[in-house]
């Protein structure tokens, strides 16, 4: 996890390991390999690499690039770090850390911290969350805090009352049947990435590019849609999948389409006293369809660890005649909210899924949104991406289908 993003109250009941602590009297195998092979860097970067490799050492992923994807600096180059990871992997992880990981993790307990300026609550049931919201209707809900943490650490923002959701079991489950999936709002993205892999291809792809593992270990779907950021990575995917949001309050529950949840820039339909409980996604295709095509794309300055310039997600269902019977084209970074190109969706339903159809709607897509110019990209560049990414989707899915058919 990124320590700079975690509110102090969230540490209660946990053991903290630092780069000094993993040595435990003598250098850890990861530290030994990094020092021996020259992978160490400046005092800021080396602890991050050590801790990332340390965690990966015990889960068997130390030789994967994902183990260190959250650490940007490469002062000494990639090769010494990769060599150090490979060497450390040769030493079996048999020590007191491995033994501790073999035991069940204790459940988090309820806490209530108060100071003169702030209050921090960590309830252990949804009922207690809703009770606190009645008492503090303007409280700030905290899930993974990967967005909120920046406001706390970078902007020194003060939130008088914070209610953490990470110890609420009702918000941390994934239920799956043959027809639908329901994801708790406080489930970490890394758990979704593992547990639902292969269920929704567009989700798999976007999760791969969503920040880095240290962030995905904390970030949640509820937080990603609750912030209502126009450049959030997951909302376009969820919009393309026609996801619904289950909202809970002391008065009861209601379920609304995600498309109706976003009301404006950073504004949602969430009412006072309500909390996002889960996200519901139906599986399967539209009646009459025989094949579903689905993919997502994220365009940014870097692959991971960056905000998207434009994010896109597509779902297209085809019948036996290769006609489009259902279409969802969703985007982020092109409007005040994550948004679908509804007019284009309606225009292509009934059309043949072929290049002429794509070429006919590209001009429509180019003019569908009125994005802003900013430091990441111009409005015209974003408009071109909106159209070109749909063509890319067509080309890639057609090529994949041709290979399977062959």
Q: What digits encode the pLDDT tens for the residues 42-99? A: 777 889 999 999 999 999 999 998 888 888 777 777 889 999 999 999 999 999 999 9
Task: Supply the pLDDT for residue 76.
Answer: 73
pTM above 0.85, yes or no: yes
Residue 27 has pLDDT above 80, yes or no: yes
User: What is the topology classification, in CATH, of domain 1-106?
Assistant: DNA polymerase; domain 1 (1.10.150)
pLDDT band at 168 (very low <50, low <70, confident <90, very high): very high
pLDDT value of residue 77:
78
What is the structure's pLDDT at 207?
96
Residues 6+ apart with CB under 8 A from 180: 280, 281, 282, 283
Residue-level pLDDT at 105: 83
Alpha-carbon distances of 310 from 62, 98, 366, 389, rounded to whole Å = 32, 42, 13, 10
Per-residue pLDDT, 406:
60
Coil, helix or strand at residue 297: strand
- pLDDT at residue 70, as a whole number: 84
Residue 309 and residue 74 in contact, taking contact as beta carbons nearer than 8 Å: no
When pLDDT is cut at 50, 70 and 90, the band that residue 403 belongs to is: low
CATH classification number, 170-282, choose in 3.40.50.510, 3.90.380.10, 3.30.465.10, 2.60.120.560: 3.30.465.10
Contacts of 405 (CB under 8 A, 6+ apart): none
β-strands 161-164, 119-122 pairing: parallel
Reply yes or no on whether the pLDDT at 405 is more than 80.
Answer: no
291-405 classified as CATH 3.40.50.1100: no
Strands 119-122 and 252-257: unpaired
pLDDT at residue 173 tops 70 = yes
Interval 324-331 mean pLDDT: 98
The whole-number pLDDT of residue 51 equals: 94
Q: What is the pLDDT of residues 333-368, one digit of tens each?
A: 999 999 999 999 999 999 999 999 999 999 999 999
Question: Is it the case that residue 302 has pLDDT exceeding 70?
Answer: yes
Query: What pLDDT shows up at residue 43?
Result: 79
**Which one has a higher pLDDT value, 185 or 25?**
185
Q: Would you list the DSSP string of 67-90?
A: GGTT----TT-HHHHHHHHHHHTT
Where do the domains of the chain lie? Answer: 1-106, 107-164, 170-282, 291-405
Q: Residue 116 — very low, low, confident or very high, per pLDDT cuts 50/70/90?
A: confident
Give the CATH class of 107-164.
alpha beta
The yes-or-no answer to whether 170-282 and 291-405 have a common fold is no
Diameter of the chain measured on Cα atoms: 69
């Amino acid at each position: 996890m990124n320590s700079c993003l975690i509110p102090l109250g969230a540490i209660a009941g946990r053991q903290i390991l630092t780069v000094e602590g993993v040595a435990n009297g003598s250098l850890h195998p990861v530290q030994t390999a990094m020092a021996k092979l020259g992978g160490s860097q400046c005092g800021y970067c080396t602890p991050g690499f050590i801790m990332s490799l340390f965690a990966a050492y015990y889960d068997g992923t130390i030789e994967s690039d994902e183990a260190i994807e959250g650490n940007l600096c490469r002062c000494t180059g990639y090769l010494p770090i990769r060599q150090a990871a490979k060497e450390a992997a040769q030493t079996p992880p048999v020590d007191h850390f491995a033994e501790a990981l073999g035991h069940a993790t204790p459940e988090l307990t309820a806490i209530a911290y108060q100071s003169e300026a702030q209050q921090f609550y960590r309830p252990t049931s949804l009922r207690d969350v809703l009770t606190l919201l009645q008492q503090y209707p303007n409280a700030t809900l905290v899930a993974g805090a990967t967005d909120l943490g920046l406001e706390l650490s970078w902007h020194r923002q003060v939130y008088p009352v914070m209610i953490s959701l990470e110890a609420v079991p009702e918000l941390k489950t994934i239920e799956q049947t043959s027809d639908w999936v329901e994801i708790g709002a406080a489930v970490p993205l890394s758990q979704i990435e593992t547990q639902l892999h292969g269920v929704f291809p567009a989700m798999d792809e976007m999760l791969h590019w969503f920040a880095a593992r240290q962030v995905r270990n904390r970030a949640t779907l509820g937080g990603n849609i609750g912030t209502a950021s126009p450049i959030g990575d997951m909302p376009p995917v969820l919009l393309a999948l026609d996801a619904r949001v289950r909202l809970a309050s002391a008065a009861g529950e209601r379920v609304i389409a995600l498309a109706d949840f976003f009301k404006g820039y950073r504004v949602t339909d969430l009412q006072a006293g309500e909390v996002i409980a889960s996200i519901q996604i139906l599986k399967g295709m539209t009646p009459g369809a025989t094949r579903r095509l689905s993919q997502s794309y994220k365009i940014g300055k870097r692959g991971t660890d960056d905000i998207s310039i434009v994010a896109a997600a597509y779902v297209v269902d085809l019948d036996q005649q290769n006609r489009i019977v259902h279409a969802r084209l969703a985007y982020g970074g092109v409007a005040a909210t994550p948004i679908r190109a509804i007019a284009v969706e309606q225009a292509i339903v009934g059309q043949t899924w072929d290049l002429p159809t794509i070429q006919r709607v590209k001009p429509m897509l180019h003019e569908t949104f009125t994005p802003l110019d900013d430091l990441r990209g111009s409005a015209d560049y974003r408009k071109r991406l909106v159209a070109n990414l749909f063509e890319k989707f067509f080309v890639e899915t057609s090529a994949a289908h041709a290979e399977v058919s062959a």
